[in-house]
Amino acid sequence: MKIVKSLLSFIVMFGTLFTFTANSDAATPKTMNAKVANSVYVHAEPSANAKKVGTLWKGTKVVVYSKSKTGWAKIKFNKKTAYVYASYLSFSKNTSKKTTATKTTTTKKTTTKKSTSTSNSKKTTYRPVVTNTYYYVENGKDGKLYSTGKRNSTGWTYWYKKTGNNKQSFLVKESSKGLDYKFKTGTIRQIVYPFTKGQVFKANKKNYKIVSISNTFKVKAGTFKSVVGIKAADGSITYYAPNAGAIKTVKNKKVTFEITKIETK
């Protein structure tokens, strides 16, 4: 009887251990693969005020453990966990979705080409890069646009525009709905996503119109692709380029703003 009881106890204990192990494996969180869409600082905690532990450069592949409701992504960085804002990452799609997208493109070849030439790509960002300094001329005065890379908890990045002795601060944020700038007077949508030529949208109770989408566009700072021209209610047209934001403004055939040079920190 003692041998039988000992054997039964061993079976119960082994079964419990097996159940615990199986449940632990099932609870292991799945990771996600992502690529850095724009260079971004890495923080020790999910806060813009937390200690910076490094930088992820554009194009870097990264493993993501989870995403929070406040917009932070928990990632693997230097064999440890760290945090970056999720909007700076481009997440990979699964194989089945890629296959379907390929088939659709092949079947509707004409429609796909037309859409590409008149609308912004989902992967294209028109937000200025925080590691760049943008020099410009505005109404005859030299100035520069730059960022410290600091962000608040809701994902807005702090930017500074200095023209002569006048320094102005504002916030920049990009979402699936568009590119927004926040000033002391309020938030103004610079570009609406997705956009097409001839499209009209409202910003700050005023109408704006997409008047051009250029394959190539040249300013003093260089030549840009996929530049979108937006006409404001006052008749001025501002041109926006990927990874740069506003690069030129023309009003009454006169250039009032133009990017002259871009430097990477």
Strand order in the sheet with 200-203: 186-192, 178-183, 166-175, 157-163, 141-151, 132-138, 254-264, 245-251, 237-241, 222-231, 206-219, 200-203
Structure token pair of residue 224: 């840009």
Instruction: State the CATH class of domain 32-91.
Output: mainly beta
- At 233 the pLDDT is 92
Give the model's pLDDT for residue 190.
93
Residue 178 Cα to chain centre, angstroms: 10
Residue 7 pLDDT class (50, 70, 90 cuts): very low
Which residues lie across from 53 on neighbouring strands? none
Cα–Cα distances in angstroms (integers) from residue 61 to residues 44, 57, 129, 174, 200, in the given order: 19, 9, 18, 21, 37
* Average pLDDT of the segment spanning 216-229: 94
Q: What is the pLDDT of residue 93?
A: 63
253/94: higher pLDDT: 253
Question: Is it the case that residue 237 has pLDDT exceeding 60?
Answer: yes
Is the pLDDT confidence value at 85 over 90?
A: no
Using CA of residue 59, residue 60, residue 64, residue 69, what is the dihedral sign? Answer: negative
Q: What angle do CA 72, 171, 129 make, to 5 degrees?
A: 70
Judge if pTM exceeds 0.85.
no
What is residue 88's DSSP assignment?
A: G
Domain boundaries, the chain: 32-91, 132-264
Question: What are the tens digits of pLDDT across the range 118-174?
Answer: 444 446 899 999 999 999 999 999 999 999 889 998 889 999 999 988 999 999 999
Q: What is the pLDDT of residue 13?
A: 47
Cis peptide before 194 (omega within 30 of 0): yes
Checking if the pLDDT of 18 tops 60, the result is no
Asked if residue 92 lies in contact with residue 139, where contact means CB atoms within 8 angstroms, the answer is: no
Whole-number Å distance between alpha carbons of 33 and 69: 19
Residue 113 confidence (pLDDT) above 60: no
